[in-house]
Amino acid sequence: MSDYSVSARNLSKKFGHGHHAVQAVDGVSFDVKKGELFGLIGPDGAGKTTLFRLLTSLMVPDSGTAVVEGFDTVKDYRQIRRIIGYMPGRFSLYQDLSVEENLKFFATLFGSTVAKSYDAIKPIYRYLEPFKKRMAGRLSGGMKQKLALCCALVHAPKVLFLDEPTTGVDPVSRKEFWEMLGTLQDQGISIVASTPYMNEAVRCHRIAFVQDGKISECDTPENIRRKFPHAILAVRSRDAFSLLQDLRKFPEAHSCYSFGNYQHLYLHSEGGADGSAARLQEYLEGKGHQDIRIEPIEASIEDCFMLRMNKEGGDYGDV
Amino acid sequence: MGRKVLKYLLEKEFKQNLRNPIMLPLIIVLPLIQLVVLPFAATYEIRNVEMVIVDNDHSAFSRDLEQKIASSGYFKTRYHAPTYQEAVSYIENGDAGVILEIRSSQVFLSVDAVDGTQASIVEAYLNGIIQDYAARTLQEKQPTRIQTTAQMRFNPFLDYQTYMVPGILAMLLTLVGGILAALNISGERELGTLEQINVSPVRKSDYLLGKLIPFWIMGLLITLIGLGIAWLLYGLTPRGSLPTLLLFATIYNIGFTGFGLFLSSVSKSQQQAMFVAFFFLLIFFLMGGLFTPVSSMPHWAQYIVYLNPTWYLIDAMRLIILKGSGFAQLLDQFYAILSFAVFFNFLALITFRKTAK
């Protein structure tokens, strides 16, 4: 058996026919190492959920193969269903069963008991224990998501698939959730999670950018940031809107995006950010901007993501 | 492992159904309302038909006939018109349903036949009354004729309520299986819980059985409650054996639950499952002899009725409850219902997929 927990080779899945056909997953290949926390990052509609369905044996691919813990997702789907935990994007537990009953139900479905896997779920279940008699439908968003994670873990799976587990959850619960995933990894569980939040992406060991059904880049967050091809200047002035317009017209600009109060300007020239900063200062003053602040910064994952997503002739791409 | 999973699947279904605030009232109120309201409302007896009388005769004979008609209780004779033309305006305005024109030796009837069934029944009633009247008054002058006497068996007073009750029980069983089951799996699909079930190693036969059994128990409960209500309201008790009746109810109910499960596993949403279920159930009811007798349908329609599971059950229920038929006399219906049950559940089993293509 290989060191990989999940291996996908040229996975493809198309929906619809003729003109209405959508290639949801298009020749995707990647590997997830044992005990790794692997992130799938991509915009809505990139094909992340379909990819999860293919990997969890809920859907048969048109072509390509996927192997989970040595089992083929099409041929050995029975074995796969015993060893994986899946948390779909939408909260999908029984709203009219209590926290305890939901857990017991999913444990029984997988031929396990809550007592048997209590140790594994304890770090998460301790948050829920005070509400164990409460109906799942009456839990807060963060609690629901913890319960869903518990239910996905209750049969001690080897691989955990989490489809946007933190969407619609408050920032504190999101942070807690990712910390919990950290403790799960200490137990040796491989985790594949998708997220639209960049600050969560950096918590993964490796991430893959998913776009239009393809994986455009797959590496550690650190390497991805290091490979960012442009020098970046974070720029701020009093009039943010006209600043963005003017920055895009700056001769050395490759492209420019808003990040909160700052505009991130990606420069054509590599390395020479200092000289560019001085030239930019002059250029902006000439355009009548006030309170100008320019700082050279390191690329964040979000910078890499923005550049990726808009590479193929995006609306705000090359100026 | 299978048995333990099934047990917990059942436990979960019961918990959910008992917690559903409308489920218990539904089981009791649904049969109650259907059995109280429908037999009276959906009756073929025509009463209180407004009549316009055009009396050209002005004789003791005509007044006598009018009184006779009024005393039958089926007609109201408050409108009178001097001519036929004026009488027609009553019908045109919708105030009256029939014109009776009396001439010296003849009686003419004009019936508003927008509702064809009502028109023919009105005509038959009036004919009966007039014939009877003529026979009595002209008795001496008439030569003797052969008299036919009809004896009504099994339902001696041609009681329409008694006739309706078994049909309504059949309808309730159809609703529990067809509609509730159709809503169930499609509801789980919409909620997303089905995906969780699919990704688990649970066998689909276990999952489907876990759905089938609760609906079967619910169907039996509704049948028993319905029979109790029929006894309290109409003093109607099954003449045939209760176990035979429950056997038919069981097989039919399992069949229709399979039908509902089939619909919900091929539908994308609850709404879609609901619409398709309604489409079929309406056809099953209307062509099942619940309201209109199958024998009066055109020939081609009668062939379709052979494919209607509801017809077999309504027929069997009536025979058991009203006629006291035993199992040996109901073999045709039994095999028909059994075949449908096997067919629908087979469909449910092959269309319910844990993996999407």
DSSP B259-307: HHHHHHHH-SSHHHHHHHHHHHHHHHHHTTTSSS-GGGS-HHHHHHHTT
Q: Average pLDDT in the A119-137 region?
A: 88
* Confidence (pLDDT) at B140: 54
Distance CA A315, CA B129 (A): 88
Per-residue buried b or exposed e for A251-278, using 16+ beta carbons within 10 Å of the residue's own CB: ebbbbbbeeeebbbbbbbeeeebeebbe
Give CA separation, B179 vs B13, B87, B194, B263, in Å: 16, 49, 19, 10
Q: Do A92 and B193 touch (CB under 8 A)?
A: yes
Q: Nearest Cα to A8, choosing from A39, A37, A29?
A: A29
* Confidence (pLDDT) at A191: 94
Residue B146 or residue B172, greater confidence = B172
β B75-80/B107-111 pair status: unpaired
Lowest mean pLDDT among A51-55, A311-315, B115-119: A311-315
Distance CA B34, CA B258 (A): 24
Measured between CA atoms, how close is A2 to chain B, in angstroms?
A: 24
Distance CA B242, CA B224 (A): 10
**Alpha carbon B136 to its chain's center:** 39
In this model, does residue B314 exceed pLDDT 90?
yes
* Confidence (pLDDT) at B31: 85
3-state helix, strand, coil in chain A (%, to 5): 35, 30, 35
* Confidence (pLDDT) at B153: 66
In this model, does residue B308 exceed pLDDT 90?
yes
* Confidence (pLDDT) at B154: 65
Distance CA A148, CA A143 (A): 9
**Going from the N-terminus, what domains does chain B have, and what CATH number goes with each?**
2-42+158-351 (no CATH), 49-137 (3.40.1710.10)
Using CB atoms within 10 Å of the CB of residue A312, give its burial: 0 to 12 exposed, 13 to 18 middle, 19+ buried.
exposed
Say yes or no: A108 contacts chain B, CB-CB below 8 A: yes
Give CA separation, A70 vs A2, A85, B168, B301, in Å: 8, 16, 57, 59
In this model, does residue A206 exceed pLDDT 90?
yes
Q: Do A58 and B196 touch (CB under 8 A)?
A: no
- Residue of B11, B200, B202, B206 to mutate for A, most A C-beta atoms under 10 A: B200
Q: What value of ipTM does the predicted structure carry? A: 0.76
**Alpha carbon B295 to its chain's center:** 15
Distance CA B84, CA B92 (A): 12
Where do we find the tokens 């799942």?
A: A136
Strands, E assignment, B10-111: 49-55, 75-80, 98-102, 107-111
8 A C-beta contact, residue A244 and residue A256:
yes
Distance CA B301, CA B314 (A): 17
Q: How confident is the model at residue A127 (pLDDT cuts 50, 70, 90)?
A: confident
Q: Do A93 and B195 touch (CB under 8 A)?
A: no
Of B5, B197, B201, the CB nearest to A78: B201
Q: Nearest Cα to B354, choosing from B191, B180, B205?
A: B205
* Confidence (pLDDT) at B22: 82
Q: Tens of pLDDT along B122-135? A: 888 888 888 888 77
- Listed by start position, the domains of chain A span 4-225, 228-309
* Confidence (pLDDT) at B41: 73
Strand partners for A9: A65
* Confidence (pLDDT) at A317: 37
CB contacts, 8 Å: B8 with chain A: 104-105, 108-109
* Confidence (pLDDT) at B148: 55
The alpha-helical segments, DSSP class H, found in A35-76 are 48-55
Q: Over pLDDT 70: what percentage of chain B?
A: 91
Residue B47 or residue A190, greater confidence = A190
In this model, does residue A270 exceed pLDDT 60?
no
Lowest mean pLDDT among B36-45, B205-214, B233-242, B316-325: B36-45
Q: How confident is the model at residue B193 (pLDDT cuts 50, 70, 90)?
A: confident
In this model, does residue A85 exceed pLDDT 70?
yes
Q: Tens of pLDDT along A132-175? A: 999 998 988 888 888 998 998 888 899 999 998 888 788 888 88
What would the CATH number be for the domain defined by A228-309? 3.30.70
Of A77, A92, A101, the CB nearest to B192: A92
Q: Tens of pLDDT along B220-274? A: 999 999 999 999 988 888 988 999 999 999 999 999 999 998 998 888 888 999 9
Q: Please state, rounded to an integer, the average pLDDT across all residues of chain A.
A: 86
In this model, does residue A316 exceed pLDDT 60?
no
Q: Do B191 and A58 touch (CB under 8 A)?
A: no
**Which residues have a Cβ under 8 Å from the Cβ of A130 and sit 6 or more positions away?**
none
* Confidence (pLDDT) at A314: 42
Residue B115 or residue B195, greater confidence = B195
- Residue of A83, A96, A100, A144 to mutate for B, most B C-beta atoms under 10 A: A96
Distance CA B254, CA B217 (A): 10
Q: What is the CATH architecture assignment of A4-225?
A: 3-Layer(aba) Sandwich (3.40)
Residue B120 or residue A83, greater confidence = A83
Q: Do A92 and B196 touch (CB under 8 A)?
A: yes
